[in-house]
Structure 1
Amino acid sequence: MSTTASRTTWKRRTRTALAALAGLAAAGALALVGAAPAQADVLDATCTGSVEHEYIPGLKLVAAPVDLDERVEYSCLGLSEPAVGTFQGGGGYYLQDVTYGCLSVGLAQHNETIAWTGFTGTNVNSVLSGTAVTTNVAGSTVVTVTGTVTSGMFAGDAFVRTTTTPNITGALACLSSTGLTESSGTTVLEITSVP
């Protein structure tokens, strides 16, 4: 092969490689320009509150069917529409024949209706539906519920509710003839809009 033919081949390959690199650079630039920025979740409301549970019959060490009545009072700060500012809420739920015991507390499913106060209009309630996971942390039972607001105010938003109940007083009650008939603790609820 002659030197002239070799240079021609080398120039052709160099131009082809440069054209390919330019094409990749252009495609990358278009992808960056055309890609919409990722939108973060927006915290719509954050609430703290107290929670009370009543168990009928009382919980024993071994799991058995009981009725569970929960009452919750929330104090909230709304960070976006429709609820900017402070407001309150109350709610809870009633479950029949759930299988609970002092050593195996936990909900597979969680449904809660909250009645908000300080608002007028039609969407002054929220129905929350989610799944609960129970753990024991440093002498307390911690129930973390994640799910969706299925209707009412904040409909379509995601929520996380974390309830902490100290076990110190309940441990002895579980061993008594009546069992643990009630417990109380604190709860934190965060409602987040998902883009």
Structure 2
Amino acid sequence: MFPNVNDLLYIQVASAEGKNMDKEYKSRIADVEDDTLLIEVPIESGSGHMKRLYMGDELSVYFLTDQGVKNYFNTYVLGFADDVVQLVRVRKPEPETITKVQRRHFLRVVSKLDLAVKLKDNTRFVALTEDVGGGGVSLIADSQYHLSEGEQLYCWLLLSYKNGSIDHVPFEAEIVRTKQLETGRTKAMLKFVSISDMERQKLIRYCFERQFDFKNR
């Protein structure tokens, strides 16, 4: 079953650094469209603080039936709309993706993509991504580049779609965590600091294509 107008939604927000993912927010559905839900700006349970959302933010959501059963689905932020108050437009879930079992994975897919990187000192190199998502990516790089937490990178990601088309997605990102691998290379987890809405939508489209491929294997 789908949630309806005025139903309460209980939301957790994915973050690239994995922080605050256990915080729960409440929102209410203001309108239901063909492919989207318009919801009120979420409010943190307990504190009452409003949660600012951004294009591409990935959400884990549940709503309650009349019998008190929790129904879970994952979605992401498509944009915003102004009514009496600002509303958030999120992707309407497909019926088969609504489940009574909580799923804590978000729309981040495993994928090895070419990533051109420029450091602030103008050092340039090419790395491979390990996974990509609407909020950031993880990359694997040679340890000679000495990547460190808090460092900002300028990147160009090469995307290949199922129809054969290719896109380049430029963005600026911050390293939120690094890990030395047994191979001697460095894994760096990045969150987007600056990326246009159009470029983020390209990345989200790619992730959904990949997610669809995984489901049909």
Higher helix share: 1
Rg comparison, structure with higher value: 1
Asked which structure has the greater RCO (Cα within 8 Å, sep 6+), the reply is: 1
TM-score (ref. length: structure 2): 0.28
Richer in strand (by share): 1
